[in-house]
């Protein structure tokens, strides 16, 4: 997942840009927001980002000055500037300063996607080859956090959107990551965990089937029983009565 530092003095613009970025369904996530270049420079003293997306016109320290300050520090930080049509002279200056590309406001999804895809291609060409996602400790940690979220919320509603928000990822990317690491999709994983917990409760407690259904997130007992049968080739009652109880 590529980490992005987003710089714009207007909060609603930052929110809009984040939504546009999410809609590209590319592996980018905003890890920090700053309202001007000076604030961004302070953050960069102790943090790193793969890519910086910055507005041109801002108070305190505008985008071009920020770009120049980053270059003075000999940071090989790649940047994309966001500009209005009347800022084109500023954009030309930014390009001469070595920014990767520019986007015109209002930024459309197709333009953001094109720009980010081009950046990814160049970044992959320059960067050393990376291991597969399944061997990345950070990605494994992310999946572990999602699994903890699922386990802790079996009785309630579990959604991909909420899970992705908890680990600060794009839902589409999390879905892809889940499939690559666990070899199943997110929905199937939730059902599997719920069915395993239902089996445990059937084996180890005397709770009524309706109570077990409720504990694993099913308000409709009939639907729970049908789902259980699809996964275990027997109904909850049959499973409980079996001599080995599914062991």
209 pLDDT band, cuts 50/70/90, is very high
What pLDDT does 133 receive?
40
The per-residue pLDDT for range 117-152, each reduced to its tens digit, is 888 877 764 443 333 444 445 555 778 888 888 998
Percent of the chain past pLDDT 90, that is, above it, reads 25
Helix ranges restricted to H, 45-170: 63-72, 88-96, 109-126, 137-152, 160-166
Residues contacting residue 7 through CB under 8 Å, at least 6 positions apart: 33, 34, 35, 36, 37, 39, 40, 52, 53, 54, 55, 58, 63, 66
Percent of the chain past pLDDT 70, that is, above it, reads 77
219 pLDDT band, cuts 50/70/90, is very high
Residue 179 neighbours by CB distance under 10 Å: 14
pLDDT score of 187 more than 50: yes
Write down the number of H helices and E strands in the chain.
Answer: 12, 5
Query: Average pLDDT in the 99-113 region?
Result: 84
Cis peptide before 208 (omega within 30 of 0): no
- Cβ-based burial of 52 (10 A; exposed 0-12, middle 13-18, buried ≥19): buried
- Cβ-based burial of 37 (10 A; exposed 0-12, middle 13-18, buried ≥19): buried
How far is 85 from 112, CA to CA, in rounded Å? 16
Query: Average pLDDT in the 204-212 region?
Result: 92
Cα torsion 70, 72, 73, 74 to 10°: value is 100
């Amino acid at each position: 997942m590529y980490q992005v530092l987003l710089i714009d003095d207007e909060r609603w613009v930052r929110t809009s840009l984040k939504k546009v970025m999410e809609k590209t369904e590319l592996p980018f996530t905003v890890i920090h927001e700053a309202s001007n270049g000076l604030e961004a420079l302070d953050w960069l003293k102790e943090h790193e980002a793969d890519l910086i997306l910055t507005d041109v016109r801002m108070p305190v320290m505008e985008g071009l000055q920020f770009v120049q300050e980053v270059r003075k520090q000999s940071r090989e930080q790649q940047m994309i500037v966001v500009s209005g049509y009347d800022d084109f002279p500023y954009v030309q200056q930014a390009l001469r300063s070595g920014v990767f590309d520019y986007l015109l406001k209002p930024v459309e999804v197709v333009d953001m996607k094109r720009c980010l895809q081009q950046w990814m291609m160049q970044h992959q060409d320059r960067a050393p080859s990376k291991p597969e996602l399944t061997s990345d400790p950070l990605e494994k940690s992310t999946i572990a956090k999602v699994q903890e979220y699922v386990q802790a919320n079996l009785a309630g509603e579990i959604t991909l959107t909420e899970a992705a928000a908890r680990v600060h990822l794009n839902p589409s990317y999390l879905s892809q990551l889940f499939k690559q690491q666990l070899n199943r999709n997110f929905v199937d994983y939730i059902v599997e965990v719920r069915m395993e917990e239902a089996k445990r409760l059937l084996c180890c407690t005397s709770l009524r089937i309706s109570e077990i259904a409720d504990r694993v997130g099913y308000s409709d007992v009939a639907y729970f029983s049908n789902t259980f049968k699809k996964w275990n080739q027997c109904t909850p009652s049959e499973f409980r009565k079996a001599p080995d109880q599914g062991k």
